Structure 1
Amino acid sequence: MEIYAAYFTALTCFNLALFTRQHLLTRTKRSPHTSPEGEEEESISLADLPDSPDKQAVWDFKRIYFGVYILATAADWLQGPYIYTLYKDDKSLPEPTVAALFTTGFVAAATENLAVPSTTNSLSPSTEEKDHQQQSSATVQATYRDILCDGRLLTLAFTTTAFEGSMYLFVFFWSPALKAARASSASARGVSLENAGENVPGLPFGLIFASFMSAMMLGSMTTSAMNLTSNLKTSSRLTLHTVALATIALVTPVLAKSSETGVFWAFALFEICVGMYFPAMSKLKSEVVEEKVRGKVYGMMRVPLNLFVVLALGSTKEGDAYRHTMFRTAGTLLLIAFVVIARYLD
């Protein structure tokens, strides 16, 4: 299936190589004959934690959790390649309407994200969390004040808005961006745009999306293999570099809009950044945000993210100009995030 099959194969091979390397290193570390004397094991199982149940209970929990998580994520990802093209090409809906439909699903998910922390706390059996539920609204106001007065929390909130907002915009705009790049390449070769439907082959959206997922996996596995989130310093440095690369990745489709290959690999680079971003950001949040207010703080951090995405998609216009504006806007926000991370976290 044209060149994208080769791209997917290459990304998959890189992932297999990293997985094999990581597996061999893990086996070597576990061997008692190869560990230096006195060296402590860096990783511990969940069952070794002070408050953890026995090993069988841990495995039961992991089996149930990952079973549900994999099914839910797979259902979401299977529709990912075809949302835009289904509404735009098959149903011939205008782009603002397609964006509105996409936004509806996002708003539903965002609403659920806001409800989950309180629901989780209400279902928790711990006395501490039950008492936490009974606190007055003054606690929420204090949490807001903590965020506004703490430069590190503000940095995390802004970085979350800039990066994850760019990610959600990317999910919507990658299909039309690649279609426009293919049409532009065809035009440069002398193929009439009026006959593009007959002379230009359609994009293999499923294969492209699979390549993006492989790229994201490559980013995550690279982070794990190089142990780039071992502490606050390394995590902040990784986030800084990830944001810088993501800025380049989102600006490239505007500068090289006539190169289908260039646009694809720019998007693949952004997906690699996504794979590196989440482990780093999770580590930063766990180090910076206190556990007793973590649920509320995470929910508050998503408020500006939700507003940004809804406003950006809600004002979508037909044509390439608006899409390029969104890529430039996302790149600018990521550049600002780079500056504030360097100032408050690095």
Structure 2
Amino acid sequence: MEPFYLVVFGSLASLVAVLELSKTSKDRFSTSSAFNSFKNNYLVGPYVYYLYSHYGFGKGEIGHLFIAGFGSSMLFGTVVGSLADKRGRKRACVTYCITYILSCITKHSPQYKVLMLGRVLGGIATSLLFSAFESWLVAEHNKRGFDQQWLSITFAKAIFLGNGLMAILSGLFGNVLVDSLKLGPVAPFDAASCFLAIGMIIILSTWTENYGDPSENKDLLTQFKGAAAAIAADEKITLLGAIQSLFEGSMYTFVFLWTPALSPNDEDIPHGFIFATFMLSSMLGSSIASRLLAQPTPRVESYMQTVFMLSSMALLLPVVTNLLVAPSNVKGGSISFSGCIQLIGFCIFEACVGIFWPSIMKMRSQYIPEEARSTIMNFFRIPLNIFVCIALYNVKALPMTVMFGMCSAFLFVASLLQRRLMVIAEIHKSRSQDWLNMEEIDPEGVPLNG
């Protein structure tokens, strides 16, 4: 392992440890034991590109496989979201586990059509992952009467432990399976299937069921219309959907681009270790987010403007390095100087991702109506899936610097929209306070509270 990777990984690990250990009572919420038990119950793929390359597929063919995943998420997302609201979020979470296990099984076949089927199944599973689980959590949290502010704790811990720590262990474990034990690039997917099966058993045995709109006479089309009307009627929901689409679209494009960006001349890079480094960066971001969300100021609508600007600059680094650093024409070898700079920028972006997830979850819990939560959340995913499909379809025609430039531009727009959301939220808050003050005064202008 090269010293550079170890330095980056060690530095990030130290920062995470310092942030977590230095938390004071001001950085934490005072919660109940019942809530802690509930939170812990809820909390209890870097080799995709590499696997497809191993099977002999080129960059364009791999791009089409990724398109199949995002396309299926776009086509089936709103349907599975509505079914989750209507038929039960717990049932949808179990369906996610089954669907993704089937997707992992298809990775054993080098046949392009079978891999394409796996990507379609993966796209459906992704729609469930990013809607049903959060919808179940918010509904169950409110049903049990816990403080609304405490949701931020679970959101931040889910990113820190789930998307962070477990992902790091998965990346390092995958690296051992592929590089040390020489079991091949499909081994991490077999391991993932085992863990998904364990997760499904936990969900079946410990989670209770909850629903969105309890009305039994609403068909899917009526649910779609209701969700669309809710988005159109509230500018805050519309802005939130646009912000999410812009950020996640850039993030998923980055997932496809980081491997070829760091190894343009087939440099020998440790995929699992780099993935673990990215996840450690995400943990750092989620740790920062937990501190921010625990404080009354700055509000989430305010600090996310800075996060989007920082992420925009981080993804602009590949464009800058391409202009200022002479490219290397040496095939193979270790990571280049330009790659080192980009890796640091990518770690900064992943830290922003770690802040983004609990923060966007917090805003969604505030603005999205409960009765159509899963449906609306998957409506948000339609434009981001369209963007990613278009980007990946043109991956052979567009230089990588252009694609990174587009992602950077979209993140900059997201920061502007976030600014607009903050202004509207402040106006709404001010009007609500004025209305409360008016209710405390009788028609003659005498204060009712004496």
Coarse TM-score class (shorter-chain normalised): 0.7 to 0.9
Match for residue 86 of structure 1 among 51, 54, 58: 51
Equivalent position of 1:162 in the other structure? 246
Equivalent position of 1:279 in the other structure? 358
What displacement does 1:110 show?
A: 5.2
- TM-score, normalised on structure 2? 0.58
**Amino acid of the residue matched to residue 283 of structure 2?**
M
What displacement does 1:227 show?
A: 2.8
Structure 2 residue matching 1:317: 3-state secondary structure: coil
- Alpha carbons 1:162, 1:305 under 8 Å: kept: yes
Change in 2 beyond 3 A, CA 1:121/1:230: farther
Paired with 1:289 and 1:262, the residues of 2 have a C-alpha distance of: 39
Change in 2 beyond 3 A, CA 1:260/1:328: same
**Amino acid of the residue matched to residue 131 of structure 1?**
S
Match for residue 101 of structure 1 among 65, 68, 75: 65
**Could you report, residue by residue, the CA deviation over 1:73-122 in whole angstroms, capped at 9, with x for unpaired residues?**
xxxx3xx1x2223333x344221101112233344555664414423531
- Alpha carbons 1:246, 1:270 under 8 Å: kept: yes
Match for residue 221 of structure 1 among 287, 307, 311: 287
Equivalent position of 2:123 in the other structure? none
What displacement does 1:202 show?
A: 1.0
Equivalent position of 1:43 in the other structure? 30
- Alpha carbons 2:84, 2:211 under 8 Å: kept: no
- Alpha carbons 2:244, 2:380 under 8 Å: kept: yes
Paired with 1:126 and 1:103, the residues of 2 have a C-alpha distance of: 32
What displacement does 1:312 show?
A: 1.4
In terms of mean alpha carbon deviation, does 261-270 or 304-313 score higher? Answer: 304-313
**Amino acid of the residue matched to residue 302 of structure 1?**
R
Alignment gaps of 5+ in structure 2: 90-208, 326-337, 424-450
**Could you report, residue by residue, the CA deviation over 1:130-180 in whole angstroms, capped at 9, with x for unpaired residues?**
316636744532431332343212211111111001110000000111112
Paired with 2:255 and 2:346, the residues of 1 have a C-alpha distance of: 10
How many residue pairs get matched? 288
- Alpha carbons 1:229, 1:235 under 8 Å: kept: no
Change in 2 beyond 3 A, CA 1:113/1:144: closer
Change in 2 beyond 3 A, CA 1:138/1:219: same
Equivalent position of 2:307 in the other structure? 242
- Alpha carbons 1:254, 1:327 under 8 Å: kept: yes
What displacement does 1:322 show?
A: 2.5
Equivalent position of 2:126 in the other structure? none
Paired with 2:62 and 2:316, the residues of 1 have a C-alpha distance of: 24
Paired with 2:69 and 2:62, the residues of 1 have a C-alpha distance of: 11
**Amino acid of the residue matched to residue 415 of structure 2?**
F
Paired with 1:289 and 1:239, the residues of 2 have a C-alpha distance of: 18
Change in 2 beyond 3 A, CA 1:283/1:137: same
- Alpha carbons 2:312, 2:411 under 8 Å: kept: yes
- Alpha carbons 2:281, 2:350 under 8 Å: kept: yes
- Alpha carbons 1:100, 1:314 under 8 Å: kept: yes
What displacement does 1:47 show?
A: 2.6
Change in 2 beyond 3 A, CA 1:20/1:104: same
Paired with 2:244 and 2:364, the residues of 1 have a C-alpha distance of: 11
Change in 2 beyond 3 A, CA 1:324/1:118: same
What displacement does 1:253 show?
A: 1.0
Equivalent position of 2:343 in the other structure? 264
Match for residue 324 of structure 1 among 392, 395, 401: 401
Alignment gaps of 5+ in structure 1: 30-40, 49-54, 68-76, 184-196
Paired with 1:19 and 1:8, the residues of 2 have a C-alpha distance of: 17
Query: 2:143 matched to 1:143?
Result: no
- Alpha carbons 1:96, 1:316 under 8 Å: kept: yes
Structure 2 residue matching 1:256: 3-state secondary structure: helix
**Amino acid of the residue matched to residue 403 of structure 2?**
M
Structure 1 residue matching 2:263: 3-state secondary structure: helix
Match for residue 236 of structure 2 among 132, 152, 161: 152
User: Superposed, which structure 2 residues align to 1:120-199 within 5 Å?
Assistant: 120-123=85-88, 129-131=213-215, 134=218, 137-180=221-264, 183=265
* Identity of matched residues, %: 27
- Alpha carbons 2:319, 2:404 under 8 Å: kept: yes
